[in-house]
Every structure is written in C-alpha cells, then in structure tokens.
Chain A
Amino acid sequence: MSATTPSTTERLLNPWVRRVFGAAALASLVALVVVGLFVAPPDAVQGDAQRIMYVHVPAAWIAYVAFGVTSITSLLYLWPRTRSLVWDRIAGASAELGVVFTGLTLVLGSIWGRPVWGVWWAWDARLVTTAVLFFLYVGYLALRRVPAATDVRAKRSAIAALIAFVDVPIVHFSVTWWRTLHQQGTVFNEKLDAEIHGTMALALWLGVLAFTVLYVYLLDLRYRLEALDEDRETRELDAAIADRVRGAVGVTS
C-alpha cells in the first residue's frame, strides 16, 4: 500500500451503493414529511404535537442501533482474531451518530413534552436513562478525540465503549428503581399504542425506514472521512520525515 493511493479497505460501501443509499434516504425523508405532516390525521388527544413521534421514535431507535453497533464492533476490535481498524472506525462513526440521534431524541421529546405534559423535562426513568446514555457516549467521543497512535486509541476507545455498554443496564435499573420507589404513576402514559390509525402507523414505519437508511448512509460517509483523515496523518508524517532526512543529508554533505 503506497502512501498516495487510499487503500480499498477505506471504504465501507462501494460508491455506487452509497449513492443508492443517499438517494433512498432523501426520498424516504421527503415521503416521511409528506405522510407525517399532511396525510396522517392529527391525534385525537394530543393534536398535532403527536406528529413529533414520527421522528422522535425513529431517532431513539437509531440511537440504540448505533450504540449497539459501537459495542459489537468494539468487541470485534478487542477480539484478537478479528482485530482490525475497520471495526474501530465503524465504532467511532457509529458512536458519533448515536450521540447525534440521542441528542435529537432528547430535544424532540422535550419539544413534544412541553405541550403534552406541560413541562420541558420530567424526571421520568426513561428520560434520565437517555440523558445519562448521551453523556456516557459524549465522554467516549471526547476520549476518541485525544491524539494518540491509531492502535492505542483504538484499544482504549474499544474498552471505554464496552464499559459504557455494561453500565447502561445498571443506570437503567437504578434510575427505574429510584423513580418507582419514590413516585407512583409518572406523567408517562403507557397506553399510547392502544389504537393507531393506519396512516399514523405508516408514518411511523416510514420514519424508522428513513432514519435507518440515513444512518447507513451517514455511517459510510463518516467512516470514509475517518479513513481519509488517518491517511492524511500518515502522509503528513511521511512528508515530515522525508523533510527531516533531506535536511540531515544537506547538513552532512
């Protein structure tokens, strides 16, 4: 592998497949906007605010998928037989998307909560767990930003990702316990799925589809960026070394 041509592993999807994903993401997002905002009827109880669910639920879904992918790929990196920087890059790219979508979930939930619950934030178990989840992976991303040799950073990050993963059930458990021990019946109404109108269900599934396709597309873009970044670092290092060598030769001759 020469320093000037990027290697083939630096690409997750081939460019043609990526373009298909990009187009599909755009098309399904447009369809989601149309169905979610215009076709689906307003909710009988919540009115138009309920439409936020068409993006809130898919965002939460993708956040879980993204962190799941980070955990699996981190494990694959740590496992000696499957150790490859490919897993490390996917883990990093996916965690970044996970943080974005978790943030989106929290913000959208908050916007929805204001008209429906009357508050921007409630100390509901699920909300608190999601917030902690968000910060767990913000920390992980901060660790990834620390300059270090690629394999050092990869191992460090993989271990941190797995600790975060192990911690999530404990956080969830403790927070649930906390809220249920002290406060009976939160503002959360669990009977939301009683009857869903046909086009409402369609909008929700469309949202899940659109966000999933978008996730794959963005993951690939982010992966490629990461790979190019590493490539640039290597090249700059090579150039610096070459410079140094030339300088040394100039001095001695």
Chain B
Amino acid sequence: MSIWREAGIVAGKDLRIERRARVVSQQILPFGVIVLLLFAFALDPDRGVLRRVAPGLFWVTVLLSALLAISRSFGIESENAARDGLRLSGLDPSSVFLGKALALAVELAVFEVLLTAGIVVLFDVHLGAVVPLALAAVAATVGLAAAGTLYGVLAAGIRARETLVPVLMLPVVAPVLLGATRAWEASIDGATSDAWPWVGLLGVFAVLFVGIGMLAFGPLLEES
C-alpha cells in the first residue's frame, strides 16, 4: 500500500468518527463563534476597530480552536486502547502521521471557512484579494495541522495533556500566527505583493513540520 492510501485510511477513520460524534461541528465551531462575539464585546464594534484587527482575531481564534481539535484528535486514540490498535495495525507511522494531520487539516479548513463567513458578517470585513488569502489559509492550516499532530502525539498518554500541548505548541506556531495575519491583512487591503512573502513563509513552515512529523512520529507513537 502506498503511503497516501494508508494516510487516507487513517484520515478517513478520524473523519468518520467526527461525522458520527460531531464534536468539532457541535462544540469547537460554536466555541470559535463565541470567541468572535467575545472580541466584539472586548473591542468597540462601532469604530472600525474590529474590521482593522479582524485578521489577527481570526487567526487567534483558529489557533485556540485548533488546540481543542488537537486534543480531540488524540483523545479519540486514548479510548479503548485505540493507540495500541494504531501501533499494531502495520501502517507506516509516517502515513499515520499524514492521515491524522490530514483529518485535522480538513476539520480546521471547514472551521476556517465558516469562521471567515463569521468575520465577514459580524466584523464587516471585505475579503479583497481572495487568491493569496486562500493560499495563506491553506499553508497555515497544513502547518498548524502538522505541528498539532506532532505535539499531540508527543503529549499523548500524558495526564496533563490539555495543559501541556498549549504551552509547548503556541510558541512554536507563533510564526504561523504572524505570517497568516500579515498575509490576510495585505490581501484584505488589496496589497497582494505584500502578502506573497508571508505565504512563502507559511509554506516553508508547513513543509518543514510535515517533514519533521513524518520522521518523529514513529518513535513518539511507539512510546506514548
């Protein structure tokens, strides 16, 4: 079996579980929207403050929600000794990594699309140059999903997982927040040429963390 087919099996499994349990759609997505509302309460919605800082608020919300999604992604492996099943399945650890990261990326992507609708409606944002905006989102999502899967497995089996993952992961993904926010700001302003370098940076981050994840996932899965 090719690595991509194996990854597809793992991703399919995760997404099937999500389709049945609906934790992301019924808990994490509402959480994201509530955070958007909270931002509106915290900042004055009448003076255009929200619209100006919308990209940053959007990506902070994505980051916080991603933490929940990561926790969920490895939560389902901790029940019924599913992790042992994964280890004994004979699947290449790299494909397991890709599969779990892919499922996480798909969930985050859906989440981001809906949240984008949220900022358009609630914060009155006009999307501007859609192409760099979308590409930045894709690269950032892949990077977040890869780093998240890596830290998820690193902390799997640790009792303090929910608190450990944020403190480990947030500093590491700081460049993603920075890059995605700047790329979105530039795209929304229509300054496309300013957005591309950031899209490149997000791409480098994504490639790097997919690579590290494929290398490190095996040893980490073995011992979690």
Contact = CB atoms under 8 A, between A and B. Distances in A.
Q: Are A and B associated in one complex?
A: yes
Contacts of B184: none
A177 B198 CA distance: 9
A166 B212 contact: yes
Given A143-B154, A177-B197, A170 B171 contact: no
Interface string A119-138: 00000000000001001101
Nearest to A182: B182
25 contacts: A132-B171, A135-B170, A136-B172, A139-B171, A139-B172, A142-B167, A143-B164, A146-B160, A155-B223, A159-B216, A159-B219, A159-B220, A160-B154, A167-B171, A167-B172, A167-B175, A170-B205, A171-B171, A171-B174, A173-B201, A175-B178, A177-B198, A177-B201, A178-B178, A181-B182
A111 interface: no
Contact of B150 (A155, A163, A178, A181): A163
| Main SS class of interface, B | helix
Given A155-B219, A173-B201, A181-B182, 14 more contacts: A132-B171, A136-B171, A139-B169, A139-B172, A146-B158, A155-B223, A156-B223, A159-B154, A170-B175, A170-B205, A174-B178, A174-B179, A175-B178, A177-B198
A251 interface: no
Nearest to B143: A170
Interface residues on A, range: 20 to 34
B194 interface: yes
Nearest to A178: B178
Contact of B208 (A140, A170, A181): A170
A190 B223 CA distance: 48
Contacts of A108: none
Contacts of B205: 170
B114 interface: no
B52 to A, nearest CB: 14
B133 to A, nearest CB: 18
The 5 A-B pairs at the shortest CB distance, nearest first, are namely A174-B175, A139-B168, A135-B171, A136-B171, A152-B223
B160 to A, nearest CB: 7
B204 interface: yes
Interface in B182-224: 182, 194, 197-198, 201, 204-205, 208, 212, 216, 219-220, 223
B204 to A, nearest CB: 7
A178 B179 CA distance: 8
Nearest to B182: A178
Contacts of A175: 175, 178
Nearest to B201: A174
Given A159-B219, A163-B150, A146 B175 contact: no
B174 A160 contact: no
Contacts of B167: 135, 138-139, 142
Contacts of B175: 167, 170-171, 173-175
Contacts of A140: 168
Given A143-B154, A177-B197, A181-B194, A164 B172 contact: yes
